[in-house]
Copies of this chain bind each other. A is one copy, B any other.
Amino acid sequence: MQPDFEDMTVGRTYEIDGSYDVTDSEIKRFAEQYDPQPFHLDEDAAAESMFGSLAASGWHTASMCMRLLVEGFLDPESSMGGKGIDELRWLQPVYPGDTLRIEVEVLEKRVSESRPAIGHVRTKLVGYNQDGEAVIEWTARTMHRRRDHEHGREGGHGKE
């Protein structure tokens, strides 16, 4: 299910196919490169922290959910990239051995006034662990090529 702009139904929640297995080694590899705080790198430091044991960087959790979104929701033919994210919340820690899945609700869609070949969409994503606990949520603003409209290179980060 990778709907284009025309097929997205406002108010519908899409349960996205696919899941992401969180591993100890990937948590550490991501943290070493992008978020080298002790509780994302080292079991002993994490045991002393508020997480209680090694936990994924919040940006890693977001990135894993993005992978599920790209593979299970965003139509590669019409998706034009994102403008931004609002109300991102890390609701629960993500640990090695967790399995993530996501749901996406379409909150709003509208045709660009200045460029009718482009549709703007607001979606809410919620990521869950294997126990059904919500671990992350955000709302996203994305752009999509409309069917049967001429288009150039507009769109992408920071354009419009």
Contacts and interface: CB of A to CB of B under 8 A. Distances in A.
A111 interface: no
A87 interface: yes
Q: Indicate how many identical chains form the complex.
A: 2
A74 B155 contact: no
Contact of A81 (B50, B86, B153): B50
A104 interface: no
A51 interface: yes
B66 A157 contact: no
Question: Which of A59, A64, A82 has the most CB atoms of chain B within a 10 A radius of its CB?
Answer: A59
A22 interface: no
11 contacts: A37-B76, A38-B76, A49-B80, A49-B153, A50-B81, A51-B157, A90-B157, A91-B157, A92-B158, A135-B157, A135-B158
